[in-house]
Structure 1
Amino acid sequence: MVPIGPYGTWPSPIDAELAAGRDGSPDFVGVVGEEVWWTEPRPTEGGRRALVRRRADGDTRSLLPAPWNVRTRVIEYGGRPWAAVPRGAGGPLVVFAHFPDQRLYAYEPDGAGEPRPLTPLSAVGQGLRWADPVLVPERGEVWCVLEEFTGEAPTDVRRVLAAVPLDGSAAEDRGRVRELSDGRHRFVTGPRLSPDGSRAAYLAWDHPAMPWDGTELILADIGDDGVLEGARPVAGGPGESIAQADWAPDGRLLFSSDRTGWWNLYRTDPAPAVSPSSHPADREGAAVPLCPREEEFGGPLWQLGRRWFHPLENGLIAVIHGRGATALGILDPESGEVVDAAGPWTAWGSTLAVHGSRVVGVAASPRTAAEVVELDTRSGRTRVVGRAHDDAVDPAYYPEPQIRTFTGPGGRDIHALVYPPHHPGRAAPADELPPYVIWVHGGPTSQVPLVLDLEIAYFTSRGIGVAEVNYGGSTGYGREYRDRLREQWGVVDVEDCAAVARALADEGTADPRRLAIRGGSAGGWTSAASLATTDVYACGTVIYPVLDLTDWSSDDGTHDFESQYMESLIGPRADLPGRYEERSPITHAERISVPFLLLQGLDDVICRPVQCERFLARTAGRGIPHAYIAFEGEGHGFRRADTMVRALEAELSLYAQTFGIDRPDVPLLELKK
């Protein structure tokens, strides 16, 4: 017989150290000659991102030892931090951004030298940042996005396309950096050069729009002197989000646009010059849809250099597409047919690379963590070529996800992934219902993928269920679903999470007295707002949250990228100042009557620690059990293994104390009143 034990008390081999050590995903894949390269997290090495090289013979190793950290801070969320080219007998040349000083470095990994800086240090902190690089060896340059701070405020910043000489002459001289664009746009992505090298395409947008609201696809001619000339919009506009652009081998331009309400793929011949004054609507006739579907062939551009499609030399196009879950497919642009790659994967990251007939991406499934996967388009075969998943514990302990659609207020659909408690060697008493934690993703313009997450397994294998909610505003379900959150942040997200929690209780899946909520960043906002405005939850975990909109929207309240995000999520601040105060969880802190845990990185410049401190001051003296843990050296998103271990164990201790679960194997979280 299977031993019986109360929910939450089950023993599990998935401890916090294991979950932390397996956190994160490989990313930003590339093909360099016959080799596959990518970045990957190293939580046990101070949270750095390593650049990994897989040679043609399968030998795989990090290019650089710790503390080299291949990561950029452009728009704070970063983007593609490296580019490389093969160079025959001399070996490849790679250019990368190093996180601590944000300089670009050049490195010949097959040589004997060390990385050499290409860009200078800034006089304003890390005020010179670089992202989304493209090597242009025939000009002796690397072209990329330059983010340059001009003052002390987070919004004192400009962004342009720039050319950095590869000879190192700009390492001490900012004047040697050649600016390629005129700075008329607040945000730009890195350039994509046409096959003949005569034109460059890039995306641009301006406040108050976010890139999933409206972007423009800009085309410019490249003069003989390497100057961009005649920059002009060829697609996009205030109500159209273009997520990516790239060139087909025949010189036609491909782009992913949501003009129909879904990010679909289009092709246009940009040869005819277009007047800069033309209205975007006048240009739509030139774009041909390649596979019109109510599916997404793109996503939110939280980081520069994201790829949802990649053209192949034979004219076919590798695409990441889907509705909710995603697949890697090969699109024939002439017939509009897509053939998906075989395999178990249910979520593909927004990164692709191509070499001949082979496509490389990053994929995961409910039984496997993220892996680097290669598809041979000729044979149709797939294989894992990097970061191969290995089961550190018996996979019988992994949770069994359920893809659910719940009904919210007004009959609206709410998408969610439900992970019931699961243990191969334990069962609960027949008359007991399990506790559940509602997990709220960040963004909020983002989504939770259907993948193996050992942090979820950490709870489910102990007998605590998890429900991840893709509330209204999440991506993956079309623009209409995404736009549900316009001016409704703090309303729709809170309502949708509560509706899922109540539905689980009403159907007898979850114990209505033992429901919790947790989330980080925008998810921290929703968690805090839920504790303050509903009576659904017995406790909550709030991680590096937004708590005070009035402060967050001030000139120095957060970083530039999201500094006007509230204009769409809440409404125009100039017209609705009262709404900003009314929606903020800090305004209603005195209404919180249940225990909570607050986790914060002290180096966070996106959601600053001062908001947590003010929030705690509002709750002081009210007798509500709570804990606040602030982590030195952590920013927005925890990356160090020791931080993640402490945070995860503290969260479990909160639930154990609140739900009446005996867990002597977890350090006791001291709850103050």
Structure 2
Amino acid sequence: MPAPENTAADTVETTPSIAQPAPTVPAWERRYRAARISLPRWADHAPAKSVFVSNASGTFEVYAWDRVTGEQRRVTDRPNGTASARISPDGRWIWWFADTDGDEFGIWMRQPFDGGADEPAVPGLAPSYPGGLGLAMDGTVVVGRMSDDEGSSIHVVSPGAEPVTVYRHAESAWLSGLSEDGTHLVIAHNEHGDAMRSSLRVLRLDGTPVADLHDGPEGGRPDSDLSSMGFSPVAGDQRLLVVHQRRGRDELLLWEPLSGTETELDLGLPGEVSGDWYPDGRALLIDHEQHGRSELYRYDLESGELARIDTPPGTIGGSGARPDGSVEYHWSSGSTPAELRSTAGGVLLTPPGERPPGSVPVTDAWVEGPGGRVHALVSKPAGEGPFPTVFNIHGGPTAHDGDHFAADVAAWVDHGFAVVRVNYRGSTGYGKDWTDALRVRIGLIELEDIGAVRAWAVESGLADPERIVLSGGSWGGYLTLLGLGVQPEAWALGLAAVPVADYVTAYHDEMDVLKAMDRTLLGGTPEEVPERWAASSPLTYVEQVRVPVYISAGENDPRCPIKQIENYVERLEQLGKPHEVYRYDAGHGSLVVEERIRQMRQEFAFVDGVIGLPVRNPA
């Protein structure tokens, strides 16, 4: 695979630039065009050197940031953007993943931190889907790969040597961490056949197994998904921080694979927790999540003291503890656009150009559904309802919506719509049982919860029953198409972005790691349990669709491939159902700002053309 050309490699941009919009540009467009910055990642042994991803150029690309000089330099410059980057522990190299036009299939490239030519980072490894990356201080590299032909594999590359394969399996597996001294690695794997239940295995760099951690009946423990949060950052300390679900929700434990010792950490916090290490290995940075909002704590491992870190209400989108003990974090709320903050004082890094306009606060609704109380988040424009309403359904499905800033939600509110986001059964953040309820009757389970919240929205006076739009992307797009067929009387129209439309064809064309998840969700392949696949496929119900459908799709999408969407659209055409299709040159969504604006503008036009709604708030 030839190395993609990087025309920005020798160009130093001391300040990323973005064109200032004219005052007449609508607020929703200014939100999309405003520069955004991801949480910077710094070199462990050179913390003044950092990398981040930003859309300051109009496309999401990788930037280098020297915290001493303040200099910022764009590292990548690719037509469809770059989303994934790392920095070596010594700060000498920036690594980034080079796929082709968003297809997620490619190789790792690298470039010197101070600028220079790109080069393939690991010669000898064929292109694949990424499966994790570990970088050691001595130059050792560990690469995880996922391939439809070869399954999952882990490769160790010692300085000056060829890649050595230390793990391979047909089921999904990925690198979850490399020890600070570069002597051990941990992989998460689904060798037990359940893609929703990962187990952990620690190996030496020669592939020799050290220890396994598996929660399941055969191990005498409650069935539980396990996730590695990484080894201790102290050389020689092989403790691993692990997220488990042994008591029905995400909690933490320390695992010492060399001795087999496990120490569960009962932090006394409701909701669910994740965490990371402080650089000295003596404390943990705790991310506590409950009801769509998050907060941070410092947990002292020696004293057991848990101290809350002062952060505003909303959502922490990422955090990290610096060597000086300060914490940097990415924060936003429904009304306030994202900021990069530091406990050392105020805003850490301000993007160039105009700050995006804010929006309205999020309110909560709890609705009794067939499987328990369903949490929904509501954003609404000024005035009294009932409002035209967009049900904006999240993807995943193992994800959730929270009190965070979303440009698309704010755009619909500007347009005069209320927006309802539903954390249906299958969503994370509400305990293991809530997530696990998704299995077998997938799609239909979620729609029961969405339908219950729709009924509440109408009965409460929030939503105009004749002008309710079902909308979503990825799994949310799948639920949109399925909902239009299963609940044909409930919706005025549907907006489905990068959806699953014909589930059987999608299964045969998608990447293997997603095939494994689908087999877990439905209990087998389409050939083994065809009735379940038919019951959960939007194509099965296309004849029952009664309202116009808008579908947008990426030509290079490996997750929701284009052929299965074409099958659904062909059936719509045969039945004479009103629809519109928009295809664009990208994968599972676009990293190009103007492309995102174009799609939002077309959704507005489609909705207004169907329900004839004038703009209430043309800000």
Instruction: Settle same-fold status: TM greater than 0.5.
Output: yes
1:616 — aligned with what?
569
Of 488-497 and 361-370, deviating more is 361-370
Q: Is the 8 A contact 1:291 1:333 kept in 2?
A: no
Offset from partner CA, 1:11-37 (integer Å, 9 cap, x none): 996455324324876157234523252
Q: Is the 8 A contact 1:405 1:416 kept in 2?
A: yes
- Verify: 1:653 aligned to 2:605, yes or no: yes
Q: Is the 8 A contact 1:69 1:99 kept in 2?
A: no
- Verify: 1:522 aligned to 2:475, yes or no: yes
Alignment map for 1:1-20 (pairs within 5 Å):
14-15=26-27, 17-20=29-32
Offset from partner CA, 1:195-250 (integer Å, 9 cap, x none): 5554333322237422xx2122212345xxxx242343034458321122423345
1:282 — aligned with what?
none
- Three-state SS of the structure 1 residue aligned to 2:87 is strand
1:44/1:608 CA distance change after superposition, 3 Å: farther
- Three-state SS of the structure 2 residue aligned to 1:553 is helix
- Verify: 1:157 aligned to 2:150, yes or no: yes
1:551 to 496, 501, 505: 505
- Three-state SS of the structure 1 residue aligned to 2:175 is coil
Q: Is the 8 A contact 2:43 2:87 kept in 1?
A: no
The separation in 1 between residues aligned to 2:353 and 2:251, in whole angstroms, is 35
Q: Is the 8 A contact 2:200 2:227 kept in 1?
A: no
The separation in 2 between residues aligned to 1:254 and 1:320, in whole angstroms, is 13
2:393 to 440, 445, 453: 440
Q: Is the 8 A contact 2:137 2:181 kept in 1?
A: no
- The one-letter code sitting in structure 2 at the alignment partner of 1:327 is E
Alignment map for 1:577-596 (pairs within 5 Å):
577-596=530-549
Of 525-534 and 97-106, deviating more is 97-106
1:247 — aligned with what?
231
Alignment map for 1:84-123 (pairs within 5 Å):
84-86=88-90, 92-100=92-100, 102-110=106-114, 113-120=116-123
2:245 — aligned with what?
258
State the Cα distance separating 1:373 from its structure 2 match.
2.9
- Verify: 1:328 aligned to 2:300, yes or no: no
1:507 — aligned with what?
460
1:533 — aligned with what?
486
State the Cα distance separating 1:266 from its structure 2 match.
0.6
The separation in 1 between residues aligned to 2:214 and 2:457, in whole angstroms, is 45
1:543/1:220 CA distance change after superposition, 3 Å: same
1:21 — aligned with what?
33
1:313 — aligned with what?
280
- Verify: 1:42 aligned to 2:55, yes or no: yes
- Three-state SS of the structure 2 residue aligned to 1:209 is coil
1:205/1:353 CA distance change after superposition, 3 Å: farther
The separation in 2 between residues aligned to 1:55 and 1:309, in whole angstroms, is 23
2:17 — aligned with what?
none
- The one-letter code sitting in structure 1 at the alignment partner of 2:329 is G
Identity score, percent: 22
Q: Is the 8 A contact 1:264 1:292 kept in 2?
A: no
- Three-state SS of the structure 1 residue aligned to 2:466 is coil
1:233 to 203, 209, 212: 212
The separation in 1 between residues aligned to 2:352 and 2:252, in whole angstroms, is 32
State the Cα distance separating 1:60 from its structure 2 match.
4.6
1:144 — aligned with what?
143
1:143/1:495 CA distance change after superposition, 3 Å: same
2:4 — aligned with what?
none
The separation in 1 between residues aligned to 2:462 and 2:287, in whole angstroms, is 34
The separation in 2 between residues aligned to 1:601 and 1:42, in whole angstroms, is 19
- Three-state SS of the structure 1 residue aligned to 2:515 is coil
2:267 — aligned with what?
291
2:258 — aligned with what?
271
State the Cα distance separating 1:292 from its structure 2 match.
5.3
The separation in 1 between residues aligned to 2:516 and 2:134, in whole angstroms, is 29
- The one-letter code sitting in structure 1 at the alignment partner of 2:496 is V
Offset from partner CA, 1:318-338 (integer Å, 9 cap, x none): 121221311122112345443
The separation in 2 between residues aligned to 1:166 and 1:104, in whole angstroms, is 16
- Verify: 1:456 aligned to 2:439, yes or no: no
The separation in 2 between residues aligned to 1:161 and 1:55, in whole angstroms, is 34
C-alpha RMSD over aligned residues: 3.1
The separation in 2 between residues aligned to 1:386 and 1:484, in whole angstroms, is 41
The separation in 2 between residues aligned to 1:504 and 1:12, in whole angstroms, is 34
2:583 to 630, 637, 644: 630
1:473 to 426, 429, 437: 426
The separation in 1 between residues aligned to 2:506 and 2:153, in whole angstroms, is 26
Q: Is the 8 A contact 2:140 2:182 kept in 1?
A: no
1:383 — aligned with what?
346
- Three-state SS of the structure 1 residue aligned to 2:451 is helix
- Three-state SS of the structure 2 residue aligned to 1:514 is strand
Offset from partner CA, 1:537-579 (integer Å, 9 cap, x none): 111101111012222223xx21111102223333334552112
The separation in 2 between residues aligned to 1:333 and 1:407, in whole angstroms, is 40
2:67 — aligned with what?
55
1:346 — aligned with what?
314
2:15 — aligned with what?
none
- Three-state SS of the structure 2 residue aligned to 1:339 is strand
The separation in 1 between residues aligned to 2:323 and 2:131, in whole angstroms, is 23
2:381 to 410, 416, 421: 421
1:190 — aligned with what?
175
1:197/1:588 CA distance change after superposition, 3 Å: closer
State the Cα distance separating 1:343 from its structure 2 match.
2.5
- Three-state SS of the structure 2 residue aligned to 1:662 is coil
- Verify: 1:178 aligned to 2:135, yes or no: no
Q: Is the 8 A contact 1:255 1:265 kept in 2?
A: yes
- Three-state SS of the structure 2 residue aligned to 1:654 is helix
Q: Is the 8 A contact 1:12 1:461 kept in 2?
A: no
Structure 2: which 5+ residue stretches go unaligned? 1-22, 218-222
How many residue pairs get aligned? The number is: 580
Offset from partner CA, 1:414-455 (integer Å, 9 cap, x none): 111100113xxxx5xx6x621000010111111112112222
- Three-state SS of the structure 2 residue aligned to 1:562 is helix
- Verify: 1:406 aligned to 2:406, yes or no: no
- The one-letter code sitting in structure 1 at the alignment partner of 2:466 is R
State the Cα distance separating 1:583 from its structure 2 match.
2.2
1:24/1:439 CA distance change after superposition, 3 Å: farther
The separation in 2 between residues aligned to 1:137 and 1:268, in whole angstroms, is 23
1:209/1:360 CA distance change after superposition, 3 Å: farther
State the Cα distance separating 1:193 from its structure 2 match.
3.8
State the Cα distance separating 1:262 from its structure 2 match.
1.2
The separation in 2 between residues aligned to 1:40 and 1:95, in whole angstroms, is 12
1:489 to 421, 436, 442: 442
The separation in 1 between residues aligned to 2:428 and 2:37, in whole angstroms, is 20
1:528/1:356 CA distance change after superposition, 3 Å: same
State the Cα distance separating 1:585 from its structure 2 match.
1.0
